[in-house]
A and B are shown apart, each in its own frame.
Chain A
Amino acid sequence: MMSFVSYLVNGISLGSIYALIALGYTMVYGIAKMLNFAHGDIIMVGGFTVFTAMSTAWCPVWLSVVIGIVVCTVLGVVIEKVAYKPLRSAPPLAVLITAIGVSYLLQNLALLIFGSAAQNFTSIVAGMPPFLTVLDGQAPLFFATAPSGSKAILTISMETFLSIVVSLVIMIALTLFINKTKAGKAMLAVAEDKGAAQLMGINVNGTISLTFAIGSALAAAASVLMCSSYPQISPYTGSMPGIKAFVAAVFGGIGSIPGAMIGGVLLGVIEQLSKAYISSQLSDAIVFLVLIIVLVVRPTGILGKKINEKV
């Protein structure tokens, strides 16, 4: 029972990281109608920036995280301006291949700078006691190290707790931002109809840049959480979580923001549970199998809108 709870909590934690990444995919898709394949590599850049800031420059943790988020945000906006903006009216496949090119570029830059070997990432909450420890037959301990020699039947690490809390806060903030502020409503309007939004006086280019900035900042936050929970980083760190988050976005219905959150968390839980109870080698295959089944039953994802085509 306790092990199930532990797998479930780990799954939710991993899933909330996926959800943060998936939000970037889904927002960019909603507004620019493009699959941003380089999104996964922005995670990697964020991870390496924080890694370098913490290990080389001896920055305090909070400053490293801020630097990571700023670098990713700027990078996301620059990529949009340089590579995607000239292609805004080009066929979608051309934009997709450009995004793949950007992804190759970021990966190979990281490969040149940091080498292909994985580096050890120091968790941003290293040294802190676990969030929750349940000892057999005793009251649960919060934020305390279990006395040595005692046997814990459930431990939830600080990283896991942090991932869930931070993701939750970010998601609530993002939902409020999109629904309550002028800039957020402009994003919704541009996603709905670019031409009409422009006629209403919305700065379409600015809104698209803002979307890329937010998506990349979320990716940076996700990278810090991910590298803290799975403390390694290499130039290829971003690609598999990127793909998984892409799957999560489609799973929830691409273009839908609550869909990305639900999709991400579900995907994380499915992955952890299948790793624990079915097979660790096949967990990826199971995730994708569930995705295929969901999409065959509901062809536009869980919360996706069905758009009727007109002739």
Chain B
Amino acid sequence: MIKQTWITIRTPLFSYKLDKRAPWIALLLLLFMGIVLVASISYGEYHITPTEVLQTMLGTLPQDHPQYRQFHLVVFSFRLPRIWVAFWVGMALATSGAIMQGITRNPLADPFLLGVSGGAGLVAVALIVWIKDVSTTVLPIATFIGALLTAFMIYIFAWKNGGSAPLRLILIGVAIESVVGAFTHIMLVFGNINQVQQAYVWLTGSVYGRTWAHVHTLVGWLMVLLPMAFLCANWLNMLNLGDDTAKGLGMRVERQRVILLVISVALAAVAVAVSGTIGFVGLIAPHIARRVVGASHQALLPISALFGGALLVLADLIGRWVISPSELPIGIVTAMIGAPYFLYLLYRGRNG
């Protein structure tokens, strides 16, 4: 038997218990993140060496360096914002996916199960196709609202006799998503081709041209949502025992499930609003995390988040590198990484 050791934190408000390995893994991930971050900033058409990147970021680059101003511009205005966006979006999607998988007890559930991507997509495509130059501040807000409204609608339609059975939720989710998808597609078929192409890029998920304003919005929301998710992690552990056992342990199952759903949907909606629908992260990151730290959600959620963040930062670098000077949207890269990973799982046969 492997002797499992735990770290336990107890306060009057909450208690927290996680695998002893979790902090070390988190540290390792952050280290990896740091390396990829520096590599990613240094890579590009305007090349900057890693040491110069570090110097610029730490502010130790001498003022009289011949390229001082260019370095500052490239690092802080062009490259760093998009990388941060990728990182935070990855965190949000991975956490959201881990919660969704916990609620539905289905390892294949992803953050977009409740129509978040469909609703956001409809609003985004409508704005991009109808209003020619939609401002970058309006788009995230509108898509965020679209995502939440769709999720809410699915939940309302699935509500019956004081409950929302997971199967009914999924079936109605599929139906509503297909209606929303049909409207989106109609606009894609009849819209002006230039705008349609732009809309396609958005639908695939991209962090191209994202600015500090996006980063601030993301961080603002996630500073509230992520801690909430981590604090509710124990509910997921209990839900995984089955509704009856969870009730026996004193959970108000339906109510706490709704709270978890809201957190998960909000996380996904924030991410989608800023970067479009990036697939696979919400599916893969929790999978990898589960293999490393086990199924207890208190360690699983934060570690998934870090895996998701690191994964997207890496995917962003790959997307800029693989067909340079042109670039591949980050959502395509995640699918190209994600599919082989799942095939490997399939081959190992641990999922059957």
A and B co-occur in one complex: no
Q: Which residues of B contact A (CB under 8 A)?
A: none
